Amino acid sequence: MTTFHVKGATLPDGTRRDFFVENGVFVDSASNATVLDADGLQALPGLVDLHTHLREPGFEQSETVLTGSRAAASGGFTAVFAMANTSPVSDTAGVVEQVKALGDAHGYVTVRPIGAVTVGLEGQRLSEIGAMAQSRAQVRVFSDDGKCVSDALLMRRALEYVKTFGGVIAQHSQEPRLTEGAQMNEGALSGELGLAGWPAVAEEAIIARDVLLAQHVGARLHVCHVSTAGSVDVIRWAKARGIDVTAEVTPHHLLLTEQLASGYDSRFKVNPPLRRDDDVQALREALADGTIDIVATDHAPHPLEAKECAWDEAAFGMVGLESALSVVQAAVVDTGLLSFADVARVLSGAPARIGLLDGYGAPFTVGAPANFTLYDPAARSVFGVEHLHGKSVNSPYLGRELPGRVVATVHGGVATVLEGLLVEELARG
Amino acid sequence: MKHLLSTKDLSRDEAVQILDLAEDMAQAGTREVKKLPALRGRTVVNLFFEDSTRTKISFEAAAKRLSADVINFTAKGSSVSKGESLKDTAQTLAAIGADGVVIRHHSSGAPRVLAQSGWIDAGVVNAGDGTHEHPTQGLLDAFTMRKRLHGDASRGRALDGVTVTIVGDILHSRVARSNVWLLETLGAEVTLVAPATLLPVGVDTWPVAVGYDLDAAVAAKPDVLMMLRIQSERMNAAFFPTAREYSRQWGFDDERLARLPAASLVMHPGPMNRGLEISSGAADSARSTIIEQVANGVSIRMAVLYLLLAGGAA
Amino acid sequence: MTARSVLQQDDITRALTRISHEILESSRGASDLVLLGIPTRGVILAERIAATLNGIEAGSAVAGSLDVTMYRDDLAKNPTRVSAPTQIPDGGIDGKTVVLVDDVLYSGRTIRAALDAINDIGRPKAVRLAVLVDRGHRELPIRADFVGKNLPSSADERINVRLTEIDGADEVTIE
């Protein structure tokens, strides 16, 4: 473990000062420290992604815990929550403990597994939520992401049951019958392209039902990847009524629109689909006014062959860990909606709080774990495969100019990125 | 023109040029020797991922009449995993030396993916992709209308002011889409008639009038009434209750035929469900262009293949 | 380079009249003449010659057009050319004397294509060739039976034929 003296960084609150790291925590001062010149750089608390697909076990051709961790670190993340749609599904203590152990062993980021709500993500029976909560993985977030817990009774029971363990259900809101065979946002463009439409109401109806269920049973609900203006309205209404709901938006839903589908390039095929410009604007405003609590990547790696085909044969999803901060800057910082203090909140403090992850409550204060990233918002570059550090290259941003560059990432006092490059041999203490 | 993927991409001049070329091709078809040497030495591959004997035969006849070598490749039932098959097949065809690929695919946009992929450097003709487009069908329909309405004075003309009503499953019809964009480009006035379940969301942004009532559409005396094939399995997905109810409301029967002006054309892209969306009386009447549509299909496809494949680099 | 006029309206009319007489003479008053003009300007010339022939001997000739685009040997070497209509007069060409009519005879390749096209349409008794201008530089063993004017030219010169029906005036220029 290295001792650091970070010089001249701009902290999220806008103040400019030096800070020091020793033995994995922030300290007042340190001698013989490695100096990181942060002149002109924005210091942010280590980013926390509440929604990552690490694919291991089962889909190691797309991503592994190691490669996904490296992708995360290169994007400024120090913690990721790994979704449960692995194979075998993360629905038992054994699988979630394995995922956590792999994350700990690699050390690039903290890996917190998410447990499946139902056995095999099949929406029939509750999985062993208690066993996963009490395992060494200490699972607190449960989700069938990729699939919706569409059965209203099962959803009610899940919301109630996780209360027992202080957990939260993260719902993938997608009414299955309304989205059978769906390929892209339903509207004039889907009609023209002849791609089966994915109506906004399929998302909004589930969110409306779930917030009412959460209110009824007094449980906590987290809504994954909100994508429509109507969903924002429902969540805003629920929060005004005091319902304990939090919501996330992905970077791509803050920047990209359905128009990108018109060339049938399946890099732009994602679940939920890219929506209209009006939706993008509503999501940005909702993030700015707090209706949407966090940004989460929904990093979804797929091998080339899953995308090199006709649109309706291609897999849903895009990688997003490496580009998240840049896309957030382009979508909501450079447009004046969010400050970097807000970015620190939506990409670190709030997701850690929702996921009950310790150590992110008071960043940069003496004694707190040294998780941070140094970011150069003035940099600009054309995003290319060289920016990707996971196994897969299904990024929708390839060839697009994006602002910002992660210069350094420190996870628990260990540098994972230095001078913009991934550290190959982590200096563990 | 390098590819023909969609009628939406065609300008009015390009569309009229294809129709005029098809006139010349049709003329050649009346001669003793129907073959033209224009594509001698060129290889055209009919790449069909979906069954369609009629379209395949039409393209095959067109390519052969232009003296091209034709290879038929039916990928249906191949054990190759879905995603790989298009890419692998394209690379195989490139290695064989295909100059043109006529592709029919169950996925909307597959021809565009093929054209843009870099897997193969051949002219691509969309012969029907999913529920997206079927541009040569749109062109042959326009050709058929122009020929019936303008006769020998067709050359150089578009379809300005011609009223066309298209009836049936607009939502799933690639024929309807190709016709809507092309007819709009050629100056025709298009009305779509269907149950609301079979109209796409956002149809209000299309350059068409929309109605639900076939009797009202017939009473409006359109120059052309085009019936689309209805697939009876749609009723299982709750698009309409029963075939009988569909037929009663949106089927073009003898009684409606009697109310249609004598000069109006009755069209159908085939294959027909006689007794469901169209009665035999209507299909076989003098107003029906259904057989002409098939013949004109060869001329249109010859024109398209010629335009895409005959010329070299500028 | 500026254009130099080599044939004026009177010259063209005279040339076509002379060609008409030569055609009649060579076919010994036959009434089965089919003049097929090669688009675009050859068609106009064929119509004019047919009118002259019919003025001399009513009903002696019919005119039509023969498009050779599909038969060209340079299709793949140029951007796609659009075809023009072929109009074979009623009665066809079987057993008739066909006179191909074009404005300029140059390499001979267009005529080669026209002979192939005729072959696919029928079997004439004989095929003759009439051109307004023969500029030389033949690349195939083809010669014209009736020539309006021999115009030796160099390969980098351009011969422009303008006809009233299309261009508003009759004139042949070289540049």
- At the top level of CATH, the class of B7-134+294-309 is alpha beta
* Residue scoring higher pLDDT (B200 or B312): B200
- Go through the domains of chain A in sequence order and give each one's CATH number: 46-361 (3.20.20.140)
Per CATH, the number for B135-289 is: 3.40.50.1370
- Nearest Cα to Cα of residue B167 among B201, B190, B189, B145: B190
Residue ranges of chain B that CATH labels 3.40.50.1370: 7-134+294-309, 135-289
Reported as a single tens digit per residue, the pLDDT across B108-146 is 999 999 999 889 999 999 999 999 999 999 999 999 999
Distance from CA of C89 to the nearest CA of B (A): 13
User: Is A312 tagged catalytic?
Assistant: no
Alpha-carbon span C49 to C20, nearest angstrom: 6
Distance from CA of A102 to the nearest CA of B (A): 31
Number of H helices, E strands in chain B: 11, 9
Q: In this complex, which chains have at least 3 CB pairs below 8 Å with chain C?
A: B
Assess C81–B contact: CB distance below 8 Å, yes or no: yes
> Which DSSP helix (H) or strand (E) runs through A111?
strand A110-113
pLDDT in tens, chain A (429 residues): 789 999 999 999 999 999 999 999 999 999 899 999 999 999 999 999 999 999 999 999 999 999 999 999 999 999 999 999 999 999 999 999 999 999 999 999 999 999 999 999 999 999 999 999 999 999 999 999 999 999 999 999 999 999 999 899 999 999 999 999 999 999 999 999 999 999 999 999 999 999 999 999 999 999 999 999 999 999 999 999 999 999 999 999 999 999 999 999 999 999 999 999 999 999 999 999 999 999 999 999 999 989 988 999 999 999 999 999 999 999 999 999 999 999 999 999 999 999 999 999 999 999 999 999 999 999 999 999 999 999 999 999 999 999 999 999 999 999 999 999 999 988 775
Q: What is the pTM of this model?
A: 0.92
- Domain boundaries, given as residue ranges, for chain C: 4-174
Q: Are B112 and A264 a contacting pair at CB < 8 A? A: yes
Joined together, the tokens standing for residue C14 give 């005279």
Q: Which residues of B touch C70 (CB under 8 A)?
A: 28, 36-38, 66, 306
Alpha-carbon span A295 to A67, nearest angstrom: 21
Alpha-carbon span C154 to B166, nearest angstrom: 60
Pick the residue from chain B with its C-alpha nearest to A265: B113
Q: Which residues of B touch A310 (CB under 8 A)?
A: 86, 105, 107-110, 113
A and B make contact (3+ CB pairs below 8 Å): yes
Q: Are B24 and C86 a contacting pair at CB < 8 A? A: yes
Distance from CA of C25 to the nearest CA of B (A): 31
Assess B80–A contact: CB distance below 8 Å, yes or no: no
Distance from CA of C116 to the nearest CA of B (A): 9
Q: Of B84, B105, B133, which has the smallest distance from its Cβ to A305's Cβ?
A: B84
The catalytic position among A151, A298, A342, A358 is A298
Q: Which residues of C touch B312 (CB under 8 A)?
A: 75-79
Choose from B18, B24, B42, B307 for mutation: most chain C CBs within 10 A: B24
Assess B104–A contact: CB distance below 8 Å, yes or no: no
Reported as a single tens digit per residue, the pLDDT across A42-54 is 999 999 999 999 9
Q: In this complex, which chains have at least 3 CB pairs below 8 Å with chain A?
A: B
pLDDT at C29 over 90: no
C-alpha torsion A152→A156→A157→A161, nearest 10:
150
Give B124: exposed, middle or buried? Use CB within 10 Å, 0-12, 13-18, 19+. buried
Cis peptide before A88 (omega within 30 of 0): yes
Choose from B47, B108, B137 for mutation: most chain A CBs within 10 A: B108
Q: Which residues of A150-174 are buried (b: 16+ CB within 10 A; e: fewer)?
A: beeebbbbbbbbbeebebbbbbbbb
C41 three-class SS: helix
Assess C79–B contact: CB distance below 8 Å, yes or no: yes
Pick the residue from chain A with its C-alpha nearest to B6: A193
Joined together, the tokens standing for residue A124 give 């029939």
Pick the residue from chain A with its C-alpha nearest to B130: A194
Sign of CA dihedral A30, A32, A34, A36: positive
Q: Are B108 and A194 a contacting pair at CB < 8 A? A: yes
Alpha-carbon span A320 to A324, nearest angstrom: 6
Distance from CA of A3 to the nearest CA of B (A): 50
Pick the residue from chain A with its C-alpha nearest to B204: A188
C-alpha torsion B268→B272→B278→B279, nearest 10:
120
- Nearest Cα to Cα of residue C83 among A240, A99, B37: B37
Per CATH, the number for C4-174 is: 3.40.50.2020
Sign of CA dihedral B125, B130, B135, B139: positive
Alpha-carbon span C6 to C159, nearest angstrom: 9
Distance from CA of C18 to the nearest CA of B (A): 33
Q: Which residues of B touch C82 (CB under 8 A)?
A: 17, 20-21
Pick the residue from chain A with its C-alpha nearest to B201: A187
Joined together, the tokens standing for residue A186 give 């339903």
Alpha-carbon span B291 to A23, nearest angstrom: 85
Q: Is the CB of residue B129 less than 8 Å from the CB of residue B102?
A: no
Q: Which residues of B touch C85 (CB under 8 A)?
A: 23-24, 27, 155
